[in-house]
Structure 1
Amino acid sequence: MNPVALLTPTYGRDLEICTLLCESVDRHVTSFSRHYLLVPDCDLSLFAPLASDRRMIIPASAFLPDWLRPLPRMIQRKRRQFWWSLRAKPVSGWHVQQILKIAAAMSLPHERFCILDSDIVFFRDFDLAGFEYPNTIPLLRTDDAVTADQPRHSRWLETSHQLLGVPTPPFPAPDFIGHIIFWDRETTRALAERIEAVTGMSWIEALCKTREFSEYLLYGFFVQNDATSAVRHTVVPKTSCISYWDDPTLSKIELNRLLARANRDDVAFSIASFSGTPVETIREVVAESDAILASRAAGEPVGLPSLC
């Protein structure tokens, strides 16, 4: 057996929502080997209480080269941490989280990984047994989703193809960004090797010098252009996660309505942190959802969730 491992890169400001993720994983996710939280070294003590027999907290330094070091906390911009080196301009914690996903998927002793960002919350049971090696794993691909009027996405599209040494496709182009993303270890290693062969430098240095990149676009387009990697994946148009990417803060009523629109195969939701939706609101809605599931399992009458 080769159970899937869970990967979550996170940091101190996301402690509260990451705690909710971990609680929901413990409650709803089965058939996985371990859940790894990848955190800046300075945040290890904050996340230590989340460690368990199946959850390990790993410092970022375990996967980063010695030449890439965090700047002191006092040197921050908009409360964001940066890493510096003599080889490239400083990179943000967001860039480092992407690098950590790749490095961990290459290094940890598992064949398959399910990547969960901190803001994902499970509200239904999710069994990972079907994604074990050597089964194929889903590759999210949303066709014609990247357009020329999306400056960040279009730039990531360009840099992904430059790093992979393949021609950039015309717009509209496919998108591979989403939630509950599966990666294969051998594919990730082959991706890093391709970047090094194309750029003539280590893959981490290449990403630090590029700065504007998306790890999911890199992985997706690599699989799309590599026949050996493609056979390990099955292309899917969506994942089992409801994603809320908008700015307005969600009220409890609005969050309940969002979950009410869930498809039968949706098992989790993700509320973008920039929406400002309070974690306590999310926690209340999840608690109500769990209570309803428990009542159904016990055969008890089930009322509608509170809309106040």
Structure 2
Amino acid sequence: MNPVALLTPTYGRDLEICTLLCESVDRHVTSFSRHYLLVPDCDLPLFAPLASERRIIIPASSFLPDWLRPLPRMIQRKRRQFWWSLRTKPVHGWHIQQVLKIAATISLPYERFCILDSDIVFFRDFDLARFEYPNRIPLLKMQGAVTADQPRHSRWLETSHRLLGLPTPPFPAPDFIGHIIFWDKLTTRTMVDRIEAATGVSWIEALCRTREFSEYLLYGFLVENDPDAAQRHSVVPKTQCISYWDDPTLSKDELKGLLRRADKDDVAFSIASFSGTPVATIREVVAESDAILAPSLAPAAAEFAASC
């Protein structure tokens, strides 16, 4: 068996919440090989204290081509870093994080990966043994969730199909975007091969030229349209993570209320960083989570794993 590796693309502004993620992984997540943090080269010193026997900090330059380089920090907009090249328009850190997920999956020495964004916090135990290669892994698919009145998602839907050389499906279409996402190496390699065949350039250049894309939609629609890839996955309608995508900042009581709505098989939550919810507040609630939540039920976790 080949154990699952964890991937987290992150950067300096997310250091505090990423630290909380790492602490929660160390406390609750088992049966994984390594936890890789993928960070801009300039942020390596910030994340160095998080390194351990099982957590490796890797600079972004390890996975990016020489022609794609970060702009100096003094040239920023809204404190966000950009990468530039002579081949494409500048791309910002959010795009680079998507590229790094793909590049790390096809480069690192494991067959299965669990992708965890910086803002995920585990509050219950999560054993990844069930998802080791060659077992099937879950593919999040929310049927009919992408509609024509969603400007960003509808553009991502169109670009995903163009990049893969597929006809754009009618609306409503499925959505594959969520938290605690599993990827398979061979499937990811097939995805980048399809992108290069459809665009005639390297997959990284194709994504940087496009800019408006979603790595999760690319992966999800590749699986939907490749019978071999589909055999490696089991479709699930949700992940085991409570997601808060809204703008308003959550108070401590509101965050507690969010956790009380957790299903018995939920193991983590994610509060979008743009909500501005203080990490100190999240820490307080995590410290009290045992009193807030009903105990995790082993049969529930087994039931979820069996569906995969």
Tell me the TM-score normalised to structure 2 length.
Answer: 0.94
Partner residue, 1:162:
162
2:22 is equivalent to residue 18 of structure 1: no
CA shift in 2, pair 1:290/1:20, >3 Å? farther
1:254-269 paired onto structure 2 within 5 Å: 254-269=254-269
2:218 is equivalent to residue 218 of structure 1: yes
Q: CA deviation at 1:290?
A: 4.6
Q: Do the aligned residues in 1 keep the contact of 2:259 with 2:292 (CA within 8 Å)? A: no
Partner residue, 2:194:
194
1:132-147 paired onto structure 2 within 5 Å: 132-147=132-147
Distance 1:74 1:83 in 2: 13
Q: Which runs of 4+ in 1 moved over 2 A?
A: 290-293
Distance 1:248 1:10 in 2: 23
CA shift in 2, pair 1:44/1:291, >3 Å? farther
Distance 1:238 1:109 in 2: 28
Deviations 1:204-231 (A, max 9, x none): 0000000000000000000000111110
User: Could you say what secondary structure the match of 1:204 adopts?
Assistant: helix
Partner residue, 1:128:
128
User: Could you say what secondary structure the match of 1:201 adopts?
Assistant: coil
CA shift in 2, pair 1:206/1:290, >3 Å? same
Q: What is the RMSD computed on CA atoms of the aligned residues?
A: 1.5
Equivalent residue letter for 1:196:
E
1:237-256 paired onto structure 2 within 5 Å: 237-256=237-256
User: Could you say what secondary structure the match of 1:143 adopts?
Assistant: strand
Q: Do the aligned residues in 1 keep the contact of 2:123 with 2:289 (CA within 8 Å)? A: yes
User: Could you say what secondary structure the match of 2:5 adopts?
Assistant: strand
Partner residue, 1:302:
none
1:23-172 paired onto structure 2 within 5 Å: 23-172=23-172
Q: Do the aligned residues in 1 keep the contact of 2:256 with 2:292 (CA within 8 Å)? A: no
Q: CA deviation at 1:292?
A: 7.1
User: Could you say what secondary structure the match of 1:248 adopts?
Assistant: coil
User: Could you say what secondary structure the match of 2:77 adopts?
Assistant: coil
Q: Do the aligned residues in 1 keep the contact of 2:137 with 2:234 (CA within 8 Å)? A: yes
Distance 1:121 1:192 in 2: 30
Q: CA deviation at 1:289?
A: 1.3
Partner residue, 1:305:
none
Distance 1:221 1:193 in 2: 14
Aligned length: 297
Q: Which runs of 5+ in 2 are unaligned?
A: 297-308
